[in-house]
Structure 1
Amino acid sequence: MSSQTPRGVLRPRRAGDRFRLQLLDPGEELAPYVEYHWIVRWDMEGLPPYEQQVLSHPNVHLVFEQPQPLLYGVVRGVYTRRLSGRGQVHGVRFRPGGFRPFSPGPVQELSDRVLPAEEVFGHAAVELNAPLLACTDDQEMRARVEAFLRPLLPPVPDPQAAAAAAAVAAATADHRLVRVEQLAERQHVSVRTLQRLFAEYVGVSPKWVLRRARLQEAATRADQGAVDWTALAAELGYADQAHLVRDFSAVVGQPPARYAAGRSGCASGPPRSG
């Protein structure tokens, strides 16, 4: 169990003042498919709404929330969640590749989409929603969700799901990997095979995953304090600082230096998107 803010949450210091995030490890049976459960609680009664932005990871999320549970595909831009009033949500973050056994088709078909969970998990997901959100015990919430998911597990693990997870892990852990050809060589497959694997099991391309990992690292450094942007650009495999600035600005909406300068400022960003 952890309360650590995951990478990709923009301006995490400010976020900690607005809501409480709890991360819980999955049980043994679900661990090959689920990275963790996440529970967010907030109480902003009498306060203006707050928008939290996230540089999303290549993960599908099942989220129990009001008024109905939803399924979120990988968000290729910046995901923005608007919080107001008081409430809580319970999310299941599937491992990269881990949602494919539950999906009726390639995971790529879910990218940038938000669907009623009932479309994939049936009406039982809707029936679970209200009693789950009325619960205040983290462990009990996790137990209820896992009891719901366990009967849906495939009888035999899918080795391609594990291969997809391993490829994403390599892409996000080693910033020396900047080209799809390098990642394919590391995984001992052809570029085309890797691209097909990601479309079917991950939902986004290998190129997107490599790029997103670099941008998350840049945002993390900016949130931590002063950054030598020229040195960081070289470390992350960019041709020069200008390329890093353009890449970061295109996704986050402002240059990295300006983002870093405003890390204690007020929230800004587009309306909630999924």
Structure 2
Amino acid sequence: MIDLHTHSTASDGTDSPARLVEVAALAGVTTLAITDHDTTSGWPEAAESAGRHQIGLVRGAEISALASTPGWGTGVHLLAYLHDPTHPDLLTETDRTRDDRTSRARRMVDLLGEDYPITWEDLLAQTKSGTTIGRPHIADALVAAGVVPSRDEAFATMLRPGTRYYVGHYAPDAVVAVRAIRAAGGVPVFAHPGADARGRVVPDSTIEELAAAGLAGLEVDHRDHTPDRRRRLRDIAESLDLLVTGSSDFHGQGKKNRLGENTTEPDVLEAIAAQGALEVLR
């Protein structure tokens, strides 16, 4: 059972990296990828836990990016696997994105604080030192304050794009991000590319552009993809000779995603391992 998309408290998950690996092993996962948003800070702890629990570990990150054409743009996420975490091309972009995520969260909390009992200190209470701060932490603060009952409710109402509380953040162009991941020896896979319930999705032409820049695969099997969307993405992957992955996008408590609910085939993992700069820890 290979699950290539999960999050820990290094970004917006609720389990520590060590606990994430432990929970995955208990769920029957045999190889896990830790892919926190724009950070690799959870890698050492996860690696130590993987050794103790005898589970394979793919070290990765979920990179924020922007796919755009004149007059149009949408945020996209790229899963970077087995890259050099110190490579300057990618590190420059993730550092800038992480810093701007923090500034954006402050602005959103200030706006929310005009109408609801929430402060920056309330948000910080939902994070740990070094956490990549994002909207899920604002959602957790709103839940703790009794404003909404769950993360999902917060995202469906006040935290979604288009509300007066929503603020965007910096992210590199998606083609630039794909090239930076490749420059760092990583393997870029487009995360949940057909999740239209989250907002606009990119057209086929954008996937073609990313493939030309070095995209390795599409995350096809994901709970946010309908059966029709999965079929479309498989057809695109086949036409562009891209790998097909499946993952849980597990965040721990507060989201319905469950470890191993979608998985990746062993031969696809081996293809990813063959392209990466780092080894899969086994």
TM-score, normalising length from structure 1? 0.29
Q: TM-score, structure 2 length as denominator?
A: 0.29
Structure with higher Rg: it is 1
